[in-house]
Every structure is written in structure tokens, then in C-alpha cells.
Chain A
């Protein structure tokens, strides 16, 4: 086993000898060997040295006749080696760029799609509910079915807003109808009803409920029953309102414009009960005529039996008249007062997508420019995300190729 100090000393002697310095006598043999080795180096022939000098002088410019075959082989080998190394990398980068562009553009439209779907599906989900409420109102036992002459109408502002790609706001809701549809009466007996569904942030449900009470009082209406539940973070309220039919339109307008509330759906229904009112009036008139006739017969009656029989008939007619009067008053009340069902749900209000009308303004231009920059940054990020791993793989490949090349070069020394 050789001591490290011995190696260090020997190396120092070699360096000193090559530098022309004197060495200790004990290392004379090593110094002599070093000098002989330094002198055994083969010198190039003068012809080769002159030729190489000329090539260096012209900076290895290619010889017009085609240069040496070795030069050309070397150059070709170098080019093909680089091509072999970089061709897959370049192809991978190209494919990655194409994929990134496809992902960005398809992803961008895909991201936009749900927004449209959300809006339209929201509208679609609300529209059936509005239609359902209209149908159920028409088919409920307490509500006579609509006649063909006065079909029920269902208006869903949210559905309309969905088709337009925006949601209506609460106060100043441009898409909510300003006037409730009212049938032309012209002597007809019309029963009107409406259902209104509102949404509001959970924190405002009490405030909105109070506004409903205020509106009803202002329109001389009556809150037949109400139920307000406010439990954080949710809440809801239901109202059954009865308002003079003459004030129905104004009441609905006011309810549609409550501060902090948002109209989700609204449906109006009408029913022509002219026939029912007329029938009840005719029956009343007939009963009254019958009573008058019975009273005349009673006045002319001479026997106790006849008197008792007539009195019994008059009592029956009186009862019938009372029923007719009651039915007629009920019908008249239905005509005079309209029923409104109001439902308030506290939900998080949807974010209103920014929409632009026509025209060009500086703020819109800045907004669009910002969007372009954001999209460009996104594209850059995606491309970077795709290229960084590819770059790492290519770098690893290059490193492995270099290591393999070096190893193969080294192996040849072991084979000699």
C-alpha cells in the first residue's frame, strides 16, 4: 500500500524536474525517467506542421477542391448528431405548442359554455317552476279553471333575463314588467291572482318582509297569513295577500321593485266567472220570486194545514235565498279582491356578468385590454407548464446522451 505522502513527494519531484529544478539524490531515478519521458514526445513532421499552419492561417476555411475527407466526415457527423439530438426535442416542443393552443382555445370556449349554460339552465329551471305554479293555481280546488277567453299568463322575468344573458336586479329592475297584465273587463266578472317569487341575501330577508307589509298596507290590502323564517345563513318567507283588484297592478309593481330583492319568477292568472255570478243572481231572483208568491198564497190561505205548509215552504226558500246571497257575495269578493302569493328565498345573488351595449368607451377599451392581457398570460402560463417538463426531459436526454458518449469514448481505452 502506497503512502499518500510518498505519492505527493513523487508528484512534486516530477513537477520540479519538469520545471528544471534540482531534486534530492534519492529521487534521481524518477527525475531522469521524467526527463526521458518528456523527451520521448513525437514531433510532427515539417510538412504536416506547415500544412496545419496554412489551414490555421485561413481559419480552417474549406478547401475549394472539397477539403479533406476527414473534415467533411467530421462536419457531417456533427450535423447528423445534433439533428438526432434536437429533432425529437423540436418535434416535442412543436406538439406541445399545438396542444397548448388547442387546450387554450377549446378550454376557453368550454369555460364560457358553462356560464351560458348556467344562465340558461337557471332560466330553464325557473321557467318550468313558474309554469308549474301557474298550472297548480289553475288546477287547485279553490281556484276554478281558466276559461278559454281569459287564459292564464305566466311571466318569468328571470327567464327573459336568462335569454338575454343577464340577471335582473332588484330595484329598478328593467326586465320586470312595470304593469301587471289586466284583462279588459267591460262588464265581465274577472277573478285575478298572482304568484311572485323573490330572492334576497340572507341578511336582508327581514327588511324585505317588512317592505311587503308596507306595500300591502299602502294598497289597502290584507295580509291573510305570513310566515317569515330567518335562520343564518338561510331564510325564507311566504305571504298570502289579498288586495283590491283595482290595486293589483300597482301592488305587483311595488312588490317587484322591493329594495334588496330580486325577482326570480312571477305569474299572473285570471279567470272569468261572469257565468257563475249570473247563475247565482238568477237563482237568487227565482228564490225571491218564489218567496213573494208563497207570501201571497199565505195571505190567501184559509185552513191551518195550508198555512203551515206555506210557512214551511217559505222557510226553505229563505234558506235558499241566504245560500244564494252568500255564494253571490263570495263570487263578488273574489272579483273585488285578488290573491297574491309571495315567496321570498334568501340565496346568494348570482354575480352579474358584465355586459356591454354598443359603443366604444375608454373604460370598455381598458377592460378589454385587461382581458386580452389576462388571456395572454394564461396562454403563456399553459405553454410554460407544457414546455418546462418537456425541457427537463430534453435536458435529461442531452445529459444522458453526453454521458453515454463519454462512456463509449472511455471504453475504447479499456479495449486497447
Chain B
């Protein structure tokens, strides 16, 4: 199921509301963060893992870890969404490592290119092109794109999640977008 194009706008609004509310160190704050971020976390994890079942496991795991570590949240070290996506990223990378260790299914990306009936053909075609280009990007760049467009993180939050400088994160995002743009033209 694909979401409408205005999803990110909705995310940013809900993020602003969440930021003004309670911190995730309280259960209520964490619940609020869960409500505003559940779909984004799933989308980000799915982009990394490219497998629905694994993405569901890791998403649930990420929120459970966040619940257990909610008292370690420190606003001075970043916003709650950056904190949550940092946890989700670690969980996703652990899952990728586990897969490699067990030499098991590095499954082929699932066919998620299911155009809805009310979408125009042209829109569906563009989306398919972009998805294919995205899937051919290196994992690091694919992750940057997912954090930016699926998780809706600001460049500063993105940098904190990746553990790099903000300018380096911006440069990485710019290069990934350039590659995507060229791939779509090809």
C-alpha cells in the first residue's frame, strides 16, 4: 500500500507536535512518539531490509528497545525522532548482520510495485522507475534517502543518526539524489 504524496508534510506536522509534547522518557511521551513515527520507522527499515517480515520484526524490536531504554533519552543529544531512528537503525543493521552470519536468505527485493487503481499510469511508471533506481543505490546512500524521505528527518537529525557531521550528511544526500536523478534519466 502506497501513501499519498503529501505524507511527508503530515509527518513534519506531527513531528512538530510531538516535539512540543512530552519526552519519550515517560511512557506517555513514548506512546506519542510511537503514534507519530510507527509508519516512518517501518518504511525506513523496509528500505534497508527490503523484506516485509524482517521489517516488521525489526520495527517491533526497535520500539521495544526504545521502550526499555526510554530513560536513557537525553534531549541535549538530539531530538526524540533522531534517538528513535538511531535505535531502529541499530536493530536493522543487527538484523542484516544476523542474516549474513547465517548465510541465509538475502532475499530478492519484494515486488512492492503495485499501482493502485486510482493512480495514473504515468505516476505509477515514474514511481517504479524511482524505486528501481533506489534499489540499485549502495546501501549507505539508500539508507540516507530512507532517513530523509521515509523517516522525515532533518539534515541535523540525519547526521546524528548516522554518526557523521551535518555537512557530510548533506553531501551524501546530495550525491544519492544526483545518482537517482541520473538513473531515472537512463
Contacts and interface: CB of A to CB of B under 8 A. Distances in A.
B134 A71 contact: no
Contacts of B64: 55, 60, 71, 74
A42 B114 CA distance: 11
B67 A59 contact: yes
Interface stretch (A43-51, A163-171, A239-247, A280-288): A43-51
A408 B38 contact: no
B93 A413 contact: yes
Interface string B47-73: 100001001110111011101100000
B6 interface: yes
B9 interface: yes
A150 B175 CA distance: 115
B160 interface: no
Contacts, number: 155
Given A56-B34, A56-B63, A60-B67, A38 B181 contact: no
A18 B9 contact: yes
A50 B174 CA distance: 36
Given A18-B152, A40-B131, A70 B57 contact: yes
Contacts of A415: 100
B5 A19 contact: no
A74 B61 CA distance: 8
Contacts of A74: 61, 64-65
B132 to A, nearest CB: 11
Given A18-B12, A406-B163, A409-B94, A41 B38 contact: no
A56 B138 CA distance: 34
A337 B32 CA distance: 112
Contacts of B60: 52, 55, 68, 70
Contact of B96 (A30, A45, A55, A412): A412
A43 B63 CA distance: 16
A414 B140 CA distance: 7
A56 B173 contact: no
B5 to A, nearest CB: 5
A108 to B, nearest CB: 43
B181 A33 contact: yes
Contacts of A35: 5
A41 B7 contact: yes
B55 to A, nearest CB: 7
A36 B2 CA distance: 11
A43 B1 contact: yes
A410 B162 CA distance: 9
A246 to B, nearest CB: 95
B67 A40 contact: no
Interface stretch (B17-25, B76-84, B141-149): B141-149
Given A33-B130, A40-B127, A45-B52, A412 B171 contact: no
A10 interface: yes
Contacts of A70: 57, 60-61
A11 B155 contact: yes
A2 interface: yes
Interface in A360-416: 406, 408-410, 412-416
A37 B171 CA distance: 18
A38 B7 contact: yes
Interface string A287-312: 00000000000000000000000000
A406 to B, nearest CB: 7
A44 B173 contact: no
A37 B57 CA distance: 24
Given A42-B112, A59-B27, A49 B38 contact: yes
B115 to A, nearest CB: 12
B61 to A, nearest CB: 6
B85 interface: no
A354 interface: no
Given A33-B177, A33-B181, A38-B8, A413 B140 contact: yes
A39 interface: yes
Contacts of B52: 42, 45
Nearest to B45: A42
Interface string A53-88: 001100110000000101100100000000000000
B97 interface: yes
A42 B55 contact: yes
7 contacts: A7-B171, A36-B130, A40-B130, A41-B44, A74-B61, A412-B97, A416-B96
Given A19-B12, A414-B140, 11 more contacts: A7-B171, A10-B174, A30-B177, A34-B149, A38-B5, A39-B5, A39-B127, A41-B44, A45-B1, A409-B93, A413-B143
What are the 4 tightest A-B residue pairs by CB atom distance, in nearest-first order? A41-B43, A41-B150, A416-B139, A409-B93
